[in-house]
Amino acid sequence: MKCKIFCSKCKKAYFDQWWLCPDCGESLDANNYLIKQKFVKTMGEGNTPLIRLEKLSNQLNCDLWAKCEYQNPTGSFKDRGSVVEIEKALELGKNGIVCASTGNMAASLSAYAARNNLRCKVVVPTQTPKSKLQQAVACGAILIKVDGAYDDCVDVAQSIADKENFFLCGDYLLRRQGQKSIGEELVGKEFDSFVVPIGNGNVGVAIAQGLRGVRFIGVKAKNKKTIASAIRVMNPLDECLISTWVQKTNGLLISVTDLNILEAQKILATEEGLCVENAAAATLAGLFKIKEKIRGQKIVLILTGSGLKD
């Protein structure tokens, strides 16, 4: 079946458009998108471990599991989407790739760009943790720092893409297609809910699309200047789609404080031996907020990135 690309809000149809709707600015979505790997050299991304958290299952009176996305090649779930965007950049013969990032995407894209002989520029907020940028620098990416938030970086990245014939990468349609595989790997496991941190919302929507019918629990930071840099996003690109899938699955959106996140991060490490980044720990912090509502349920935390990055 032919792929159909359309706006998630105004429903206008497009061909060969991979970013946001030119008319209303909302996220694009697609039916029947076929992922190709004709040009790209991959790095073994995906098929990450799924482990049961026995101590936390007992504490929360539920059947709790973790999808360990921090065990992807560059330490985060971003690799699943990067391989799809790199494929498109190579297919179109672009001069390189550019993205706005809070760290994980920069690390991922720079590695895949290096492996595939593409130039890479990443636009990051000045407050991005140095540990997250070390990977990008090591892989040869050119860093452009912006004194502002992630949203400001997006505008700069778009300008570079237009002027230099670079492919604009980011939390758009193509990346979501790659990240659907997280949900697809969870099909048949009989989960009641999945819990995912919300920055732009791209990975949460992707999982919901790949794992249809399972309740979407999204966790956001209450503090706009949160320590969890990966979810420090003021205006989520996929806000419309987040709302749609939360409603479709009778899901929830939960806000947590930085203190909640730090406590959850410590518990994951000391109780279950899982060293994850702040944003990933937000998933457990969110569950503690609703522990009375999840008794007896089978739930999976999407642990998005490695604690070695923060």
Q: What is the pLDDT along the chain (310 residues), one digit of tens a residue?
A: 567 888 888 888 887 788 888 888 888 888 877 787 888 999 999 999 999 999 999 999 999 999 999 999 999 999 999 999 999 999 999 999 999 987 889 999 999 999 999 999 999 988 887 877 899 999 999 999 999 888 889 899 999 999 999 999 998 999 999 999 999 999 999 999 999 999 989 999 999 999 989 999 999 999 988 999 889 887 888 888 999 999 999 999 999 999 999 999 999 999 999 999 999 999 999 999 999 999 999 999 999 999 987 7
CATH number for 289: 3.40.50.1100
Decide if 245 is inside a domain.
Answer: yes
Decide if 270 is inside a domain.
Answer: yes
Q: How far apart are CA 157 and CA 191, in angstroms?
A: 38
Q: Which residue has the tokens 């400001």?
A: 152
Q: Would you call 147 exposed, middle or buried from its count of C-beta atoms within 10 A (0-12, 13-18, 19+)?
A: exposed
Paired with 121 in beta bridges are 98, 142
Give the domain range for residue 3.
Answer: 1-34
288 lies in the same domain as 235: yes
- Per-residue pLDDT, 84: 95
Decide if 18 is inside a domain.
Answer: yes
State pTM to two decimals: 0.93
E strand or H helix at 295: none
Decide if 58 is inside a domain.
Answer: yes
DSSP state of 42: -
3 lies in the same domain as 62: no
295 lies in the same domain as 248: yes
- Per-residue pLDDT, 1: 52
- Per-residue pLDDT, 98: 97
214 lies in the same domain as 283: yes
Decide if 247 is inside a domain.
Answer: yes
240 lies in the same domain as 273: yes
Residue 247, amino acid: Q
21 lies in the same domain as 55: no
The total number of structural domains that make up the chain: 2
- Per-residue pLDDT, 7: 86
Decide if 158 is inside a domain.
Answer: no
14 lies in the same domain as 69: no
Query: Is the separation of the CB atoms in 115 and 41 below 8 Å?
Result: yes
3-state secondary structure of 98: strand
CA nearest to 116, candidates 74, 82, 142: 82
Query: Is the separation of the CB atoms in 306 and 277 below 8 Å?
Result: yes
CA dihedral 58, 59, 63, 67 (to 10 degrees): -120
Residue 258, amino acid: D
DSSP state of 268: H
Q: Sign of torsion, CA 210 216 221 227?
A: negative
6 lies in the same domain as 56: no
Q: Give the angle subtended at the CA of 101 by the CAs of 28 and 35, to the nearest 5°.
A: 45
Q: Give the angle subtended at the CA of 229 by the CAs of 94 and 104, to the nearest 5°.
A: 35
Decide if 156 is inside a domain.
Answer: no
- Per-residue pLDDT, 2: 63
- Per-residue pLDDT, 77: 97
Decide if 30 is inside a domain.
Answer: yes
- Per-residue pLDDT, 131: 79
Residues 6+ apart with CB under 8 A from 172: 18, 19, 20, 27, 28, 202, 237
Q: How far apart are CA 171 and CA 122, in angstroms?
A: 14
